[in-house]
Structure 1
Amino acid sequence: MKKNFILLSVLLIVVSACSVHSVEPEFEKAYIRSIMVKATDWQLKNPKHNLKDWTNGAFYAGVFAAWETTRSDHIYDALSRMGNTNQWEPFRRFYHADDVAICQTYIDLYRIEKRQEMIRPTIDTIGLFIEKPYPTRGKVDIIKWWWCDALFMGPPVLVKLGVTLDDPSYFAANDKYFKECYDLLYNKEEKLFARDLNYVVKNDSSDRYEANGERIFWSRGNGWVMGGLVRILKELPADYPERPFYEGLYKDMAERVVGLQPQDGLWRASLLDPDSYPGGEVSGSGFFCYALAWGINNKLLDKETYLPAVRKAWVGLTRCVNEEGRVGWVQPIGADPQKNFSPDSWEVYGTGALLLAGSEVIKLPKR
């Protein structure tokens, strides 16, 4: 009898140990760090686009988050190499949010090294952006941030500058331009942003709809908006008068987005017509995962409500990373939801979104 009891006890210990080890390895900290390093390394070995381009602005935001998470020397070296190669300059257009997205990472690195050449071109370019009018063609681009993705590209640069330089005038400028975009593109009933004025329903012959008759709201654009909101909220002082506006918008979008999440955890290219699009879209899903996980970690979102959605999203994202570290199922560059992507479709911004998501998922509370 005693022998059987001992044998049973040993078996229970073994089963218990195996169960603990086998429960969702995607959430083990060592695994998260390893997949972030693997994805970063693959993407660095397979560069795409000009290093100053908006695509790399999103990627290197993720690379910086990967460095913060892993403290990897070779990742930091890659960040420094990018900045030095670019001579710490924005891209060509001072007036376009796409061309300053890379400046988010310049500012982050400046905060560490405090070298003026790392931030001076950004200050000068944003000065021109604020002082000069947008060179509009008078159709869609009637405000400075006239497409919703711009809310990831531009606002964090202005807010980061305001914090870094202790100059709240940058906060005020961001408030003005952000709210112009909000007024133009945000649908308060759907709690989602149209991509640009072409996709705002105006009840005329120019209106566009999905195959199922729903309005067009794509996951990537709205994912980037939510990612941008997180990067604003991480910076703004707690007592800043306009902070409640950004928090309220963030919470409204979070509630809506979670309600649209498919069972496999990954949002489709079109949020309101998911059945028309193949597979989960990683760049939009990555930014949603990042934004929702950050909200849980910072107690803006209820853990019981949102944690299951984040966990599903993260598991789905990790399944889109192949053995080499390439992040697939990323929608190509374009203005609207598309169907021309697959497990082999990759883009640098998809990797950036995954890295940002991992940087917050690793901090999540246990169940």
Structure 2
Amino acid sequence: MKKLVLIILLFGFLPGLLFAQQASENEVLVRKVADQIIRETILGFQSEDNKTLYKTSAEIPQNVKVHYASKYAGWHYTNGVLNLAMLDLGEYLKEKKYTDYAINHVAFGFANYKTFEQRFKHDVPHYTYPFGEFFTMQELDDFGAMGASVAEVYALDKQPEFENYVLKAAKHLTEERSRLTDGTFVRAFPYKMTLWADDLYMSVPFLVETAKLTGAQKYFDDAAKQIINFNKYLWDSEKEIYWHAYFSDLKRNGVAHWGRCNGWVMLAQVRLLDALPENHPQRKKLIELLERQILGIAKYQNADGLWYQVLDKNDSYPESSCTAMFVYGIAKAINKGWIDKRYVSIAVSGWEGLKKKEINEKGQLKDICVGTSIQNDLTYYYNRPVGLNEKHGTGPLLDAGVEILKLEKSGLYNYKYSTE
């Protein structure tokens, strides 16, 4: 009997022992990060006095105001970024719980948005209540990244309402959004027809997913045009990084080379190149633009492998979300063969810097700049607060982790370039 119990115990522990032997230090860390996000995610609503939790919107009394039960429950562009990262992680590790994270989040939105649409539409600003972004689609970041994640979830779970949402958003994007005369996306604030670097990510991944869903080449063409045009308006050829803004009325850029907006530009480029047909006429130029950005931002990496909140201002703080974005973009470009593998050390140094300086023992990411608008003074960018596992950084960190694991698997993580 004792021998039988011992055998059972050994078999019970064996999968864990095998995982511990096979998983690298980086894989263990990436899993820890993802599992911590899952633990912090509560899909539900909390009353404003935080005394009552409602699992569904149908449970909320008519006169009770609520907020999301956790920062990861919302319909915000950062939730779309995280969903896409979880889907990529689940696919790479063959781990259903990560894929299910995105599927469950999207399903939660579709199950609950109608309550808020009925109660609040047109009464108060859309960003002041849950799921306001879902049905108003006032700005690109209300639907772009989330729409991209809905499209990827639809590929796994063919719910007609998911497809309808993507097609509705695509129609809105292509027929109703504000653009410059050359077709470049702009916003209405802080001044009319203002170009934000962030919006390259808020538009391009969605265009990519819509192209994949519909098979229509025009979405790939529009995405390529956005990247080329954004470069025309935002690239600083002297410093070889991007400005945060372009004011079309003044025909000049803003004041800041903000770290995360440069990260959004890089993420948009790799998302497009990953899906763009090999024979697309703009593919070669797009790879050249990506390589140009990679070599440009490499000049601003500090001794710890991190990048700064304002890239060219080393008296601003090291910021972890843009660092994760650059690690992801560079590692992805190397894994795909878009740039030479000798540049892998830029990504590896960035990842090692995040591990040593920015990820705590729970797998939470520190020093993530909170949401940031466009301002006309550098002081604003210098003084933006940071958060722990703030939602703007967790998706990019997982993105980076997946590509780092691919570098490990290919043997490039420890690649040393030599002329000998």
- Considering the TM-score relative to the shorter chain, is it more than 0.5? yes
Aligned partners of 1:161 and 1:202: how far apart in 2? Answer: 32
Equivalent AA in structure 2 for residue 250 of structure 1: L
Partner of 1:221: 261
- Is 1:236 matched with 2:269? no
Structure 1 segments of 4 or more deviating over 6 A? 199-203
Mark the CA change 1:107 to 1:208 in structure 2 (over 3 Å): closer, same or farther: closer
User: How far did 1:103 drift?
Assistant: 1.4
* Counterparts of 1:284 and 1:139, CA distance in 2: 23
Residue among 38, 41, 63 paired with 1:44: 41
1:356 alignment counterpart: 399
What stretches of structure 1 of length at least 5 have no aligned partner?
Answer: 1-20, 210-215
> For 2:273 and 2:234, how far apart are their aligned partners in 1?
20
CA contact (8 A) 2:205 2:272 kept: yes
1:192 aligns with 2:241: yes
- Structure 1 distance, partners of 2:209, 2:254, is 36
**Counterpart contact for 1:26–1:315, Cα < 8 Å:** no
Post-superposition shift, 1:154? 1.2
Q: Following superposition of structure 1 onto structure 2, how do residues 239-250 of structure 1 map, counting pairs within 5 Å? A: 239-250=279-290
Contact 1:217-1:271 within 8 A present in 2 as well: yes
Q: Which residue of 2 aligns with 1:103?
A: 147
Kept in 1: contact 2:241–2:257 (CA 8 A): yes
2:69 is equivalent to residue 61 of structure 1: no
Structure 2 counterpart of 1:40, which letter?
Answer: I
Counterpart check, 1:307 vs 2:344: yes
Distance 1:103 1:208 in 2: 29
Return the alpha-carbon distance in structure 2 between the equivalents of residues 200 and 264 of structure 1. 40
1:299 shift after superposition: 1.2
Contact (CA 8 Å) 1:43, 1:326: kept in 2 or not?
Answer: no
Q: Which residue of 1 aligns with 2:98?
A: 75
Structure 1 residue 95: Cα displacement: 5.3
- Alpha-carbon separation, structure 2, partners of 1:32 and 1:71: 16
How far residue 341 of structure 1 moved from its aligned partner, in angstroms, is 4.0
Judging by fraction of residues, say which structure has more strand.
2
What does residue 323 of structure 2 align with? Answer: 285
Q: Taking structure 1 as reference, are residues 346 and 242 closer, same or farther at Cα in structure 2, changes over 3 Å only?
A: same
Structure 2 CA distance for partners of 1:351 and 1:199, relative to 1, 3 Å: farther
Q: Which residue of 1 aligns with 2:211?
A: 162
Aligned pair partner of 2:312 in 272, 277, 281 = 272
Structure 1 residue 313: Cα displacement: 0.8
Once the two structures are superposed, residues 306-341 of structure 1 have per-residue CA deviations (whole angstroms, 9 ceiling, x without a partner) of 221111111122232222222111011113633444
Deviations 1:227-280 (A, max 9, x none): 111111111111111222321110100011112111101101011111x213x2
Decide whether aligned partners of structure 1 residues 141 and 147 sit closer, same or farther in structure 2, where only a CA change above 3 A counts.
farther
Report the equivalent of 2:223. 174
Instruction: Assess if the C-alpha contact under 8 Å between 1:54 and 1:99 holds in 2.
Output: yes
Amino acid at match of 2:360: N
Which residue of 158, 182, 191 corresponds with 1:114?
A: 158
Contact 2:38 2:101 (8 Å CA) reproduced: no
1:202 shift after superposition = 6.5
Normalising by the residue count of structure 1, what TM-score does the alignment of the two structures yield?
A: 0.80
Q: Deviations over 1:67-108 (max 9, x none)?
A: 223333322222121111111986344352201211121111
Between 259-268 and 103-112, report the one with greater CA deviation. 103-112
Deviation at 1:41, TM superposition (A): 2.5
Q: After superposition, where does 1:328-343 map in structure 2 within 5 Å? A: 328-335=366-373, 337-341=381-385
Structure 2: how far apart are the matches of 1:33 and 1:345?
17
Of 261-270 and 242-251, the range deviating more from structure 2: 242-251
How high is the sequence identity, in percent, across the aligned residues?
A: 23
Amino acid at match of 1:314: W
Whole-Å separation in 2 of the counterparts to 1:199 and 1:131? 21
Aligned mates of 2:289, 2:341 — CA distance in 1: 19
Q: Within 1, Cα distance between the matches of 2:193 and 2:285?
A: 23
Query: TM-score normalized by structure 2?
Result: 0.71
Q: Give 1:94's aligned amino acid.
A: M
Q: For the residues of structure 2 that align with 1:268 and 1:27, how far apart are their CA atoms?
A: 29
Q: CA RMSD in A?
A: 3.0
Q: Is residue 2:71 matched to residue 1:31?
A: no
SS in 2 for 1:234: helix
